[in-house]
Amino acid sequence: MIRTNHQIAYDDRDGVLVIRLSGEIDHHSAVNVRTHIDEKLLAERPARVCLDLSAIDFMDSSGLGLIMGRYSLVRRYGGNFTVIDPTPAAKKMIDLAGMERMIPIHYTHSERK
């Protein structure tokens, strides 16, 4: 069986929760990623959330639904949501959907690992 290679890493610094996704985001992996992230967001309700897409190898439109859904959830409880450092694969989908009109995209150019 093919294992979809997705990972989620959390980095909580000074009230900013950075959620770093890596690997392939498709419909199959998005279901688990969504459940995992939502449990954390609803339990902790961080005021600022950064979704770090700097390690995404593949993303299709399921990734768009995943981003929009988390954005909506964070906004609903009054938090601030930003996407940071999307790879070209992720950026191409973001651009296609015109998502930048709604969600801030930041580039940190950091060497975070």
Partner 1 sequence: MNRTTIDYTARVENELDLTMPSLSVNEGMARAAVAAFCAQLNPTAVELADLKCAVSEAVTNCIVHAYRDTAGDIRINVKLCEGRIVQVEIRDKGCGIADVKKAREPLYTTDAAGERSGMGFTVMESFCDSVRVSSRLGRGTSVILLKRLHQA
Q: Please, what is the minimum distance in Å from the beta carbon of residue 106 to partner 1? A: 22
Q: Which of residues 5-34 bind partner 1 (CB under 8 A)?
A: 24, 26-28, 30-31, 34
Among 9, 42, 47, 96, binds partner 1 (CB under 8 A): 96
The DSSP output letter for 15 is T
Closest to partner 1 by CB, 46 or 63: 63
Among 37, 51, 62, 83, binds partner 1 (CB under 8 A): 62
Among 68, 75, 103, 105, binds partner 1 (CB under 8 A): 68
Phi/psi of residue 108, nearest 5 degrees: -95, -25
Among 45, 69, 75, 103, binds partner 1 (CB under 8 A): 69
Neighbour-count burial for 67-97, b at 16+ CB within 10 Å, e otherwise: beebbebbeeeebebbbbbbeebbbebbeeb
CA distance 94 to 103: 10
Contact present, 22 and 9 (Cβ < 8 Å): yes
CA distance 10 to 28: 21
Binding site for partner 1 (CB under 8 A): 1-2, 4, 24, 26-28, 30-31, 34, 58, 60-62, 64-66, 68-69, 89, 92-93, 96-97
